[in-house]
Amino acid sequence: MEYRNVLTTCIYCGVGCGLYLQVLDGQVVGTWPAKGHPLNDGRLCVKGWYAHSFIHHPERLTTPLIRDQKGGPLRQASWEEALDRVAQRLMAIRETHGPDAIAFMASAKCTNEENYLLQKLARSIIGTHNVDHCARL
Amino acid sequence: MERVALVREAVKRLLDSGQVEGVLALRTVGPGSAPHLFHPGDSLDDLTLWPKYPLPKILDMLLAADPSVRLGMVARGCEERGLIEMAKRNQVDMNRIRLVYLACTAEERDECCCSWPYPSQIDVGDKVEGTADALVAEHERLSLAERTEFWKRQFARCIKCYGCRTVCPQCFCETCVLEDNLWVEAGVLAPPFPSYHLIRAYHTIGKCVGCMECENACPADIPLTVLYTLLRRDAEEMFGYVPGRSLEDLPPLAVETLWQTGH
């Protein structure tokens, strides 16, 4: 039997509370708030307390899903194929309707660096200032 | 020898004895400590003692995960008492547990305002007497109306993180009444007085050993243990029952149930 705790940062909002993921025999089974952490010192909100619960969830998506035609079924795809599809469609929409026909939604669940890259993609590659945030959806 | 070195020695002896597969204790990680299961042959250099975590709750989970495993644990007074209450309710089997008994220091006692900072026997540490929570004494000077107002103000800050419930070693029900919409309406902040908090308070009677984990986990700094300390005192005065004192004493609610059902 192996039981240990791995220090990480809560992914649910921008505060960045410190928490431990409890790992029992290779499975993540629970969360402890990190005592002594400069941000949350042993406290969490209800989302943080369940930060582990999606990791092994049976309904968690683990590959991209693509719909080959409108209304058709979703099928599993590689990241390569999915990103190619997204890039092609975004460029086609930009070509037909202009860059402001596209908007980008950043996320509190990403790091600052990832959100920086997203707005860079929006402004420099697509050419739009339509950048907003999931907290306003 | 330093206290932590003595604990490491005691843990090593227990691991080497072959009586247990592992010993649950704390390990230095990141900003403080985290629970960890040490095995025979592991380095114990990073075994540490503070800040504490609710080890009885983890031990319960580990014992349930493998019904044949025997485990050790470094236990403070509150943690031993917690295990005793859990054993009475068939949550843990004391025959599968070996404890390294650790007495708290005066500093640790003061941090928890602990009235009982030592276990039933002591392997490491020196016994220091308990202290009274000043807030409890202050509370007793309040009139009934003032007390109600005090708790209304405290509970109004609740963000319903459920941390007090989730961290508590004595909260092991498979379905929790605090998640039942009939008693605690979902999506309402703060929970309307006195739902949630007084339900939880009643449910601690005869179980809460004052480990302070709930209060330490509370993002709103609600002095939960004041309430639970007063309830514990009432239960002692009325039924002579002290949670965690012995494996033999039957909890008052169980005794009442047995009497009522004639068994």
10 Å CB burial of residue B132 (0-12, 13-18, 19+) is exposed
Position B8 confidence tier, pLDDT thresholds 50, 70, 90: very high
Position A135 confidence tier, pLDDT thresholds 50, 70, 90: confident
Q: Which residue of B216, B218, B221 to mutate against A (max A Cβ within 10 Å)?
A: B216
Position B256 confidence tier, pLDDT thresholds 50, 70, 90: low
Give the number of domains in chain B. Answer: 2
**Any domain includes B22:** yes
Q: What is the pLDDT of residue A134?
A: 79
Q: What is the pLDDT of residue A13?
A: 82
Which residues does chain A have within 8 Å of residue B31's beta carbon, measured at their own beta carbons?
7, 18, 34-38
Q: Mark whether B100 and B196 lie in a shared domain.
A: no
Q: Among all residues of chain B, which has the CA nearest to that of A40? A: B219
3-state helix/strand/coil string of B1-54: CCHHHHHHHHHHHHHHCCCCCEEEEEEEECCEEEEEEECCCCCCCCEECCCCCC
Q: Mark whether B108 and B21 lie in a shared domain.
A: yes
Q: What is the pLDDT of residue A110?
A: 81
Q: Do B62 and A1 touch (CB under 8 A)?
A: yes
Q: Mark whether B106 and B179 lie in a shared domain.
A: no
Query: Is the pLDDT assigned to residue B262 strictly greater than 90?
Result: no
Q: What are B199's two structure tokens?
A: 């339900």
Q: What is the pLDDT of residue B129?
A: 97
Q: Mark whether B93 and B155 lie in a shared domain.
A: no
Among the three residues B60, B79, B112, which one is the final residue of a domain in this structure?
B112
Q: Could you tell me which residue, B127 or A108, shows the higher pLDDT?
A: B127
Position B69 confidence tier, pLDDT thresholds 50, 70, 90: very high
Q: What are B220's two structure tokens?
A: 């709103």
Tens digits of per-residue pLDDT, A10-49?
Answer: 988 878 899 999 999 999 999 999 999 999 999 999 999 9
Position B88 confidence tier, pLDDT thresholds 50, 70, 90: very high
How high is the mean pLDDT of chain B? 94
Tokens 């044949």 locate to B68
Distances (CA, A) of A91 to A49, A69, A78, A100, A127: 41, 19, 20, 12, 11
Name beta bridge partners: A5.
A22
Tens digits of per-residue pLDDT, A87-121?
Answer: 999 999 999 999 999 999 998 778 889 999 999 99
Which residues does chain B have within 8 Å of residue A4's beta carbon, measured at their own beta carbons?
27, 34, 36-37
Contact yes or no for B211/A37 (Cβ under 8 A): no
Q: What domains are defined for chain A?
A: 3-49 (2.20.25.90), 65-136 (3.40.50.740)
Measured distance CA(B89)–CA(B97) in Å, rounded: 16
Pairing of strands B32-38, A104-106: unpaired
Q: Mark whether B79 and B181 lie in a shared domain.
A: no
Q: Mark whether B218 and B103 lie in a shared domain.
A: no
Q: What average pLDDT does this structure show over B189-216?
A: 93
Q: Mark whether B84 and B169 lie in a shared domain.
A: no
Contact yes or no for B198/B204 (Cβ under 8 A): no
Measured distance CA(B256)–CA(B130) in Å, rounded: 30
Position B51 confidence tier, pLDDT thresholds 50, 70, 90: very high
Residue B35 at interface with chain A, using a CB cutoff of 8 Å: yes
Q: Mark whether B178 and B214 lie in a shared domain.
A: yes
Query: Is the pLDDT assigned to residue B254 strictly greater than 90?
Result: no
Tokens 């899903």 locate to A65
Query: Is the pLDDT assigned to residue A57 strictly greater than 70?
Result: yes
Distances (CA, A) of A132 to A15, A107, A118, B101: 18, 9, 10, 55
Q: Mark whether B139 and B100 lie in a shared domain.
A: no
Angle at A114 between CA A113 and CA A120, to 5 degrees: 90
Chain A nearest C-alpha distance from B34 (Å):
6
Cis preceding linkage at B252, omega within 30: no
Radius of gyration of chain B (CA): 19
Q: Do A1 and B69 touch (CB under 8 A)?
A: yes
Quote the domain boundaries for residue B31: 3-112
Q: What is the pLDDT of residue B257?
A: 62
Tokens 């007793």 locate to B140
Tokens 């943080």 locate to A48
